Chain A
Amino acid sequence: MEKAKFLSDFKEQFIDGDSITVELDTKFRQLETWDSLTGMSVIVMIQDIYKIEMSDTDIKNCNTVNDIYEFVANKI
Chain B
Amino acid sequence: MINSNISEISYYLPENILDNASLSNQHPEWSVEKISSKTGIYKRHIANKKETSGDLAFKAAELLFLENNIDRSVIDFLLFCTQSPDYFLPTTACLLQDRLKLPVSCGALDYNLGCSGFVYGLGLAKGLISSGQARNILLLTAETYSKYIHPLDKSNKTIFGDAAAATLITADETNSEGIGKFEYSTDGSGGEFLIVKNGAHRSRLLTGKDIFDGDAFLRNDDYLYMNGKEIFSFTAFNVPGLIERCIKKNNLAPEEIDLFVMHQANEFMLQTIRKRASIPTEKFYIHLSDCGNTVSSTIPIALFHALKEGKIKRGSKVLIAGFGVGLSCAATVLTF
Contacts and interface: CB of A to CB of B under 8 A. Distances in A.
A and B assemble together: yes
Contacts of B228: 36
B202 interface: no
Contacts of A48: 276
B232 A40 contact: yes
A66 B228 CA distance: 26
Interface residues of A, number: 11
Interface in B241-268: 268
Given A44-B276, A48-B276, A56-B229, A37 B237 contact: no
B272 interface: yes
A43 B38 contact: no
B236 interface: yes
Contacts of A15: 38
A43 B233 contact: yes
Contacts of B276: 44, 48
B236 A44 contact: yes
B229 A36 contact: yes
Contacts of A44: 233, 236-237, 272, 276
A56 B233 CA distance: 10
Contacts of B268: 37
A6 B237 CA distance: 21
A47 B240 CA distance: 14
Interface in B214-236: 228-229, 232-233, 236
21 contacts: A15-B38, A35-B34, A36-B228, A36-B229, A37-B38, A37-B232, A37-B268, A40-B229, A40-B232, A40-B233, A40-B236, A41-B272, A43-B233, A44-B233, A44-B236, A44-B237, A44-B272, A44-B276, A47-B237, A48-B276, A56-B229
Interface of A: 15, 35-37, 40-41, 43-44, 47-48, 56
5 A-B pairs closest in CB distance: A44-B236, A40-B232, A37-B268, A56-B229, A37-B38
